[in-house]
């Protein structure tokens, strides 16, 4: 089996290549957007190590695959003749909405704003949620400069909602009370 070199030395001067070949600075919003998607995906990998329910595990693996697709979409030069190989569909968004509904099923109603935390799994889900929100903001900043597929932004918005509900569910299943915010 042939080994693949991880290092290419092509990024040593602060630039990288998009899919399609265009070189961009490593400080660009496009690179920041798909780098943040990668960070979120890594955080979800950590969250997976805390999950006991097979359905939650399966859902997060599906989400990780979708995040790879989103990263690919964002890493593709929109001006290139190379079409993006991946897409996020309306069905992908609806599937995530169904996952939100399933995770929310059986939870007590909203009692107020919750502080991030609770059991370890829920705390990690809250970290994932905040990384997702930041990623969404970066993608919107990119969209203000170069159009981004609206399904990508919609998916990221639903994903942060899912991660919030998942955190609540994990606390509920773990018998951990949520910590409600009380205005001081």
Contacts of 118 (CB under 8 A, 6+ apart): 167, 170, 171, 174, 176, 177, 178, 179
Please tell me the distance from the alpha carbon of residue 73 to that of residue 168, in angstroms, as a whole number: 31
**Residue 33, domain extent:** 20-180
Contacts of 98 (CB under 8 A, 6+ apart): none
Residue 24 placed within a domain: yes
pTM above 0.85, yes or no: yes
- Give the number of domains in the chain: 1
Which of 148, 63, 150, 68 lies closest to 98, judged by CA?
Answer: 63
Residue 12 placed within a domain: no
Residue 11 placed within a domain: no
Residue 139 placed within a domain: yes
Residue 92 placed within a domain: yes
pLDDT by residue for the chain (184 residues), tens only, comes to: 777 766 565 555 566 666 666 766 666 898 899 899 999 999 999 999 999 999 999 999 999 999 999 999 998 877 776 666 789 999 999 999 999 999 999 888 777 788 789 999 999 999 999 999 999 999 999 999 999 999 999 999 999 999 999 999 999 998 888 887 888 7
**Residue 168, domain CATH:** 1.20.1200.10
Residue 7 placed within a domain: no
């Amino acid at each position: 089996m042939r080994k693949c070199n991880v290092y290419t030395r092509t990024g040593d001067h602060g630039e990288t290549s998009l899919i399609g070949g265009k070189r961009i600075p490593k400080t660009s919003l496009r690179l920041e957007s798909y780098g943040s998607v990668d960070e979120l995906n890594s955080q979800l990998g950590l969250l997976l190590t805390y999950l006991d329910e097979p359905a939650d595990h399966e859902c997060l693996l599906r989400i990780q695959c979708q995040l790879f697709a989103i990263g690919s979409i964002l890493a593709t030069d929109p001006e290139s003749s190379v079409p993006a190989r991946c897409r996020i569909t309306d069905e992908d968004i609806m599937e995530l909405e169904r996952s939100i509904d399933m995770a929310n099923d059986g939870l007590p109603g909203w009692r107020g704003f919750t502080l991030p935390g609770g059991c370890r799994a829920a705390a990690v889900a809250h970290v994932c949620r905040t990384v997702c929100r930041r990623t969404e903001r970066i993608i919107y900043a990119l969209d203000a400069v170069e159009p981004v597929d609206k399904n990508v932004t919609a998916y990221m918005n639903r994903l942060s909602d899912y991660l919030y509900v998942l955190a609540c569910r994990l606390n509920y299943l773990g018998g951990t009370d949520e910590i409600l915010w009380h205005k001081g």
